[in-house]
Each structure stands twice: as C-alpha cells, then as structure tokens.
Chains A and B, each alone.
Chain A
Amino acid sequence: MQEIKLKGVNETVYFEQLENGLPIYIWTSEYAHSFQGVLNVFYGADYLDFTVNHRRCHVHRGTAHYLEHVMCEMDDEPLLVKFNRLGSYSNAHTSYMNTAYEFLGTSKLKENLELLLHAIFEKKFNNEEIEHERTPIIEEQRMRADNPEILSYLAMNDLLYQKYPNKVDLGGTIDDIKQITREELELIYRSFYHPANMTLVVTGNVSPYEVVQIVKDFFKDKPITEWIKPKLLNYKEGKRVHIKQKTIYANVEVPEVTVAVKMPMVNFANYDYLKLINMIRLILASNFSSTTLFKEELLEKKLIYNLYYSAYKMYDYLILEVGCRTKYPEEMADILLTKLKKLTINEEDIERKIKSAISTLVLSYENHEEVNSILSNSLLYTGKIIENEKEMLESISIKAIKEVYQLLSFKEIVTLFVLTKEKKQD
C-alpha cells in the first residue's frame, strides 16, 4: 500500500489501486468515533452525448440523477433501509460532473462496505423499481423549481454558455423525467459504472489494511473487464457569452444582481490549476471580501445587504462572479462592473489571507467527513490528491499574483438580475 504524505499538515493518505482499476484512498483518525465511505462515479448530469465503441449515444437530461435513484432501489428493500439495519446513515447525490454514494457508521465496517459494493457492482435492473421512482423524482424536481438559488444558477449558465447543457437543472425537466427509459439507465450503468471510472474514499476510525482487504475480498471472484472509456462529446463552447443580460423573477424577498466574466482556461495554460484558482480567489477577496473598504462603504450607504464573490472552472472556461442582495440592482450592477474592471491588489491584505488559508487547511484535518469531502473533490476536480497544498499556499507571491492579474480579461461579461415575483406583476 502506498502512503501519500501531505506535507505541512502532517497527515497521511493511504492508497491502493485494485487490479480492476478501482482506486481506494483512506485517511484514518484515532479520535473519531465513526467512519465514512464515499464511492464517487465520474458520471454526472452534464454527460448527455457520448460515443461507445464508435456508436453515438444520447440520453435525456436527468438520466444520471434518475439512475442514482434506481441504484438505491434493491430487490427486497431500498438500499438506505439496508444501511439503516446496520445502524448506519446513507445517502446519494448527483452533480453535473459526478454521482456519489455514501455511508456513515460507527460499527460493522465490513458489512457497510460490502453493502455499498454489492449495490453498485451487482446491480440488477427491473422495470417495477424504475417506474416506482418516477413520481418521487418528479416531486423532487418540483421542489427544486421553487428554489431561487437553483433558478439563479441555471439562468447564469444560460447567460454564460452557448453550448454547455448545464442551463437546464441536473434532474431534467418533468417531460425529460417522464421519457427516461430503462435502456438509457442501463446504457449509462454499462458505460460509466466501471471500477476504473470511480474512486472509493474511506475516512475515520478505520484500519487502511482492513478496508483494502474487505474490498479485495469482495472482488476476488469477479471477472476483471477492461473499461472501454466512452468518448464524451466536446460541446465546443465558444469564447463569447450567450446573452449579455437577463432578468428572472423568483421567490426572493430582496432583489439580487450578479455580474460574471467568462475567460478561456487556455489563457492560463502555464499554471497549476489549484495554485491559479487560489491566486484568483485571493485577488477577489482583496477587492470584495468583508475586510475591504469597498464592501464597508456599500453597507454604510445602505446599497447592499451582502456581497458575494467566487472563481471557478467550468470545463474550458474560468468564471469570476460577484453579486449582492440589494434594493438597487441596476445601480449595483454598474458599481460591481466598474469595480471588476479595476481590481486592485492590496499586498498586506493578501499576505494576511494566505496565512488565514493555511490555518483553515490545518483545521480541516480534524473532522473525517470534511477530510472525505476534501479528498473526493480533489480527485474529482484535479484527478489527484494534493500533497503540498500548504507549500503551494506559502509559495504564492505578490509578484505571481500580479502576473495572473495581467492575464485576466474582462471582455465577456454578463449581468443577471433576480427580481421578486411581485415586481413582475407590477
């Protein structure tokens, strides 16, 4: 078993890759009273078009989420009920890029792991359970249709992207859900639910050797099949934004305005992604966080109730967002846009925030659920465990931040207004 040393935080992650391709990552804590296992499948709601064995395939939006529900149905009783019988909690969730199945328990590690592996790798589909889940899934989507945050997220995607499919909710429309077939679900299961397209991360009061042995024993009599990696359709998203401005009406009590910028990741080809995103977030924090005069003045002038900002990668593009809740959305849109185009770099502020980030990093290795989330996300977004995050943070210099700043381009900008439904009626 390989030991991955996390420099600076004095932590070790144990790693073993099985013959069938399944990578297992384990972090142990002698103080924890419980453990968590998360099996992450690298198939998410955005992967609608792909080629397998030269055959072009298309599935309805919502298929990944529907499959997540069906995977949690078993012959005699739901998977969650089976975990409950072990005294454990379990859940599953779908995002645009992945589907995750997890359990949280205090005892019977072997039974918990075997149950999870059995549910995922020995799945038998039947029409009855597929049909059974259709109504609850529709109700879940109806619940999401009322959520202003989800509506705002989808509207922002519609502004930013011409081709990416993430402008429709990950669960699909009600019509999509009604049309999803058993064939589509089985196609996704066959094509993507292969051990080589997953990660298993186990954290808590466990022995790494025991975890690996349990998983090896589960697979020992099972044939090893080669994974024919499906080729995902490249949506060939253009550099331009789709629509420059949009207003939606939702169940918000106070209007919101968000300004976002789209820039190609190729502009930053020479940078390590993690370091890059940290540097960009520091630039944004230095301009928009609660330690800035900018935010303080806006609050004092009663122009805003809050101010939020983020930087993230969406496939081939880097997105910077700044937004607020305000009584004056149009005025604030202008103010945010002007500020975004004239970002400044406050050296003292940035150096302090780097030290803060290091402290947060050390603290995060306390709770095994948080560690599981850090490891799983790191594998999902970067394909590896980050061994030197503390060193990376310490190595960020003002000079490097200024260089990144020079690469930022503010040509492709969008503005989203989220107004109250009452306003629409006016």
Chain B
Amino acid sequence: MKYKQYDFESFRILTIQSNHFKNVHMEINFVDDVENISMPIRSFLTNLISYTTLKYPTKRELLIALEELYNSSYYSTCSRVGHTFFSTFLFDFLSPRYVNEKNYLEKCVQFFCEQVMQPNIKDGKFDERSINIIKESKHSSIDRYKENALSYALKKSRDFLFANSITSKPLDGTHEDIEAITNEDLVNDYQKLFQDSSVDILIVGDLDMDEVVAYFQKYFQKKSIVEKQYTNVIDNAVGSLKELEVQGKYVQTQLILYLQYESLTDFELFAVSKLYLTILGSANQSDKLTQYLRILNPLVYRNAVCFVPTSKYILINASLNYKNIEEAKRNIYKAILEMEKGMIDENYFEVQKEKILSNMTMYEDDESYLIEEYYFHVLFNHPLSSEKRELIQKVTIEDVQKFAQKLQKTLIYVLKEVE
C-alpha cells in the first residue's frame, strides 16, 4: 500500500494505492467549524446536493446514470467530530481493471465532481421539488430513535447530561429547524460551503494516483483558500454523580452509566483506552462486565461499553429486567472498581493486547477504515496503525489503572420498562 499526499492551493488530495480492492472509494470532504455554520442547514444542503443535480434533475435520472456506470454508488453523509463538521460526498465504483471501456476512470471522476460542482440550482434557486422531498424525509426520520429502547435511552440521557453542549445537538436539528429552512438559506450555504470550508479529497483503490489526481485538477474547482486548524474534542464539564429514572414505553429496561474525564494524554487516548474498554466490557464475554452481568450472575443478554473521545466520555449500557436493576448496578460498580484497583490478570492482559492488535490487522481489509485513519492522521495528527501498534505494546496494567482512576461517574440513567 502506498500513501501519498498532494497539496494544491485550495484543496488537498490523500491517496492510498492498493491492488487489494476491486472497488474504488472516493470522498470529497468539506470541513468547517461547527460554530461557523448552522448544522441543520448544512446537513440539509449536503443531502440536497447528492439528491439531484443540474444534469440529473430527478433522483430517478441520477440513479439510472449510476446503474449505467456499472452500478456505482454516490451518496453523502454528515458527521461532527468534536467542533469540526464534515459534509462528505462519497463515490464507490468498480475498479478500471475490470472495465473494458475507454476513458472510464476519467468519466468516473468527471461524474463525481459534477455532482458536487453543479447542484440543481436554476435562476438562483434550488429545485423546490427536491427540497420538499428531503424536508419530508427529514421530518419522518428525526424521531426514529424512539422506535428502539436503547436509541431512546441514549438520546435522552445525552440530552440530560450535556444539555448545554454541542454533544447533545442533533445534526438535523428539530422539526422546527427543518421547517424554517428556506431555499435562500440553502443557496447561501452552498456559496459558504465553497467559500469558507476547507476541502480534502480522499481516494483508495487500484489506480494510477497521479493520473486520477490530474483528473481532479481538471474537474474540481474551488477558488477560496482556507487554512484552518480544527478541534476534534468538546470540553464537556465533569460534574458530580446524578441519578435519573424515567418511565419508558418499552418491554425492557435500559441502564446507562456515564463516565467522564477531564483530560487524557495521547498515549492514554490511543492505546491505554483500548485496553481499558476491552477488559472492562468488550472482550467477547471474557470482559469484567459480561462476567458479572451474565456469566456469574445471569442478569442480562446484552451489555456494552462505548468510548466517545470527541465528547470525553465512556458509557456503559445493560438491557435487563427492572427487578434486577440494583444487582446490575452493584456489579457494574464492582467491575469499575476492579479496573481502578488494577485487578487484572497479567496473562489475560497480554492476551487482550494481542486481540486488539489482531483486530487492527482485520481492519486492514477495510478500505474505508484505511483512508479514514490516514485522513485523521493528516487532519488531527492521530497516529497511524503502525504507531498505534507500538503504543499498545507499551501499555502496562498500571497505565490502565491510572486511566481508570481518571474516570468519574457522572450519570446513571434508567429507562424503566412498561408495567
């Protein structure tokens, strides 16, 4: 695999050349500070740009064009990493080595760039039909978290704990936000997207990268030069422990515990945390939480632990019968306390280290993972796999213990099952 960075005045291109993949994956990322944009408008705009274009004024026509291009796939996503907002346009297509068609690669790059460069704007306005369809779709999807007990509990607990933080703000906004978005807002935001955002193009596949980069130079234009440093962490305040129990409408009770921290070193963030999380709750049934909540005490079918470094918290979840809630809490506390005391078997510790390294090896089969890792290395100075491996090798039980001691329980949220 060959990694290469191409820097141009108004955008840069990161490439990974590899003959491992039959698919080619490309992304155009528009990056901005969250504080510099309206998230609901930017999110709406991102969907709108990938919905129809001047050349393909209906979704149907766009999809037919993609089918004709050997069933390629073009779509968009929005994401927020700390204070940084990404509007991402993605294009996946069959590697040129399987296509016997002249200028196929150039055609693909041209197609991709046109989608982003030529939105469906006529007489200074976006196509109203497309806006209406997206508006309906957003209204219908905005409350879908209520269809699942865990999603509901996660959202409501996050809203409570991070009430005044960006952490709890949904990218799509509220029904009111969506309703208030006008055609003019979207046209203005499209100008702003090209004016104020920095642009990073990512490419991974079996391609001559110099050739494909030349096509991007030909078909992708952006005039403004934006040089910014982006922040990928939100400094949420760490308060004292709160407990909140609310009545739900679901069959099963959800228990969520939040652990927050003030600060971590890069070593803790990229290496120690992995061992902490694995040993506490994600080691395929051998972890402490599963031992205490399922193996030694059959209380739950499912428990999970999740690390959100961009908002500086770890959460633990268990889905269970309400009658077992106190016993489950006691056992979760016990597992956390053992981590704080460094009660970890040395052999087991080494096995988990190997498991983490093995997982990293598996990720190397995933082209999206590879390119994202490279991108975050360039954008946020995150270590690459090779550096992470070295860091993980160095982690000791004492490091994990120190990490555990930095964590503070800040919220126990219980969504009680329906009577």
Contact = CB atoms under 8 A, between A and B. Distances in A.
Nearest to A90: B284
A139 B64 contact: no
A380 B98 CA distance: 30
Given A88-B358, A353-B67, A366-B22, A146 B300 contact: no
A34 B149 CA distance: 34
A301 B94 CA distance: 35
B137 interface: yes
B69 to A, nearest CB: 9
B320 interface: yes
Contacts of A88: 358
B292 to A, nearest CB: 13
Interface in A47-84: 77-78, 80-81, 83-84
Interface string A122-166: 000000000011111101101101111000000000000000000
B323 to A, nearest CB: 11
Interface stretch (B4-12, B359-367, B402-410): B359-367
A251 B148 contact: yes
Interface string A355-393: 111011011011110000000000000000000000000
Nearest to A84: B284
A362 B302 CA distance: 37
Contacts of B140: 253-254, 305, 325
Nearest to A85: B351
A356 B67 contact: yes
Interface stretch (B113-121, B128-136, B262-270): B128-136
B299 A84 contact: no
Interface residues of A, number: 62
Given A90-B284, A300-B129, A253 B143 contact: yes
Given A251-B250, A359-B94, A291 B320 contact: no
Q: Which 9 pairs show the lowest CB-CB distances between chains A and B? A: A356-B71, A139-B301, A140-B301, A31-B20, A135-B298, A87-B358, A81-B286, A359-B70, A84-B284
Contacts of A355: 67, 70-71
A33 to B, nearest CB: 5
Contacts of B298: 132-136
A366 B143 CA distance: 36
Contacts of B68: 352
A335 interface: no
B250 A106 contact: no
Nearest to A365: B22
A135 B143 CA distance: 32
B251 A145 contact: yes
B60 A292 contact: yes
B319 A139 contact: yes
A215 interface: no
Given A33-B361, A78-B286, A362-B98, 16 more contacts: A31-B365, A33-B365, A87-B351, A87-B357, A89-B359, A136-B298, A136-B301, A139-B302, A142-B252, A290-B60, A299-B136, A300-B132, A305-B136, A355-B71, A359-B70, A359-B71
B251 A421 contact: no
Interface string A226-250: 0000000000000000000000000
A411 to B, nearest CB: 32
Report which residue of B140, B359, B362 has the largest number of chain A beta carbons within 10 angstroms of its beta carbon: B362
A81 B285 contact: yes
Contacts of B146: 251, 253
Interface in B63-83: 63-64, 67-68, 70-71
B351 A290 contact: no
A134 B300 CA distance: 11
Interface string A335-361: 000000000000000001101110110
A389 B286 CA distance: 42
B102 interface: no
B180 interface: no
Contacts of B357: 87
Contact of A253 (B23, B144, B302): B144
